[in-house]
Amino acid sequence: MPTTGAKPIGAKDEASAAQAVQQMFNSIAPRYDLLNHVLSANVDRIWWNRTARRFRNVLGDPDAAILDMCCGTGDMTMALLKHRPRGARPILAADFAHAMLSRGAQKFGGPGVGTREPDAPCAIPIEADALHLPLPDASLDLIVTAFGFRNLANYEAGLREFYRVLKPGGQLGILDFSEPGGLIGKGYAIYFRHVLPAIGRAICGRDGPYNYLPASVGNFPPPPQMLALMQTVGYAQSHWQSYTFGIAGLYTAVRPQAA
Ligand SMILES: C[S@@+](CC[C@H](N)C(=O)[O-])C[C@H]1O[C@@H](n2cnc3c(N)ncnc32)[C@H](O)[C@@H]1O
């Protein structure tokens, strides 16, 4: 049966799946950055930067309307901001876990944050569910989402909602984990399914979240299925670029220009 969306243990339907994901991220927010960097040996930074570079043309347009969906503690947003010119329209950075978003806002928020200069590029935090965005139809030039899409309770509904808010010609980038094949895949599976949850448990003090991570990647549709879903929803030019032997990868697609 095709996967419809994330299935945290115990979730009976899409509403309870979304609630479990939201609670889980709220609970790990204080340790999230530390865990991320330890568990990925900082390779996540390379992936965020590579993703941002892929969209440097649209990021370089000061008037472009850009959303970082599932922004969490804001590291993808920060990578996108490096390519924004001074005085550019702020990026919108959305997440439904308050504790994650408020940490992100401390990094990417406006001129009042840190030592930012008044016209330094910044982002505006929005507490919102990816499946019900508080944004008008056809209002965005670019949506990027890093390691969040896999957690949505319904993947097709997420792609449809992104399509709704993208302008014709607008671009989508979904960075997420994948399951590498071959020998590398076998070695990585041992790390991902056994070592990573153990380190996560040690730092986090609890079992749940870092057992959920490998389970959620196992449940996530592989590239051919995701690309087919993107086409069904109506996206054009859908493509998957493998990162680091296929441990992660970037889906890109475009909402076609109106006929
Ligand atoms: C693994 S974190 C990724 C955070 C950040 N993008 C990064 O790369 O570090 C996933 C984020 O997705 C958010 N998320 C999951 N489902 C969501 C939904 N339906 N709507 C909004 N945010 C969601 C979670 O709250 C969490 O902050």
Ligand 1 neighbour 97 (Cβ under 6 A): yes
The whole-chain average pLDDT of the chain stands at 91
Secondary structure of the chain as H, E, C letters: CCCCCCCCCCCCCHHHHHHHHHHHHHHHHHHHHHHHHHHHCCHHHHHHHHHHHHCHHHHCCCCCCEEEECCCCCHHHHHHHCCCCCCCCCEEEEECCHHHHHHHHHHHCCCCCCCCCCCCCCEEEEECECCECCCCCCCEEEEEEECCHHHCCCHHHHHHHHHHHEEEEEEEEEEEECCCCHHHHHHHHHHHHHHHHHHHHHHHCCCHHHHHHHHHHHHCCCHHHHHHHHHHHCCEEEEEEEEHHHCEEEEEEECCCCC
Tell me the per-residue pLDDT of 59-111, one tens digit each, with 9 for 90 and over.
999 999 999 999 999 999 999 999 999 999 999 999 999 999 999 999 998 65
CATH of the structural domain 14-254, one choice from 2.120.10.80, 3.40.50.150, 1.10.10.10, 3.30.450.20: 3.40.50.150
Say how many Å lie between the CA of residue 29 and the centre of ligand 1.
Answer: 11
pTM, entire model = 0.94
**Does ligand 1 lie within 6 Å of residue 248's CB atom?**
no
Give the model confidence (pLDDT) of 229-250 as tens digits.
Answer: 999 999 999 999 999 999 999 9
Q: Which of 14, 96, 103, 213 to mutate to test the pocket of ligand 1 (most atoms within 8 A of CB)?
A: 96
Predicted confidence at residue 115, as pLDDT, reads: 59
Q: What tens digit of pLDDT does each residue of 112-136 get?
A: 565 567 788 899 999 999 999 999 9
Q: Where are the domains of the chain?
A: 14-254
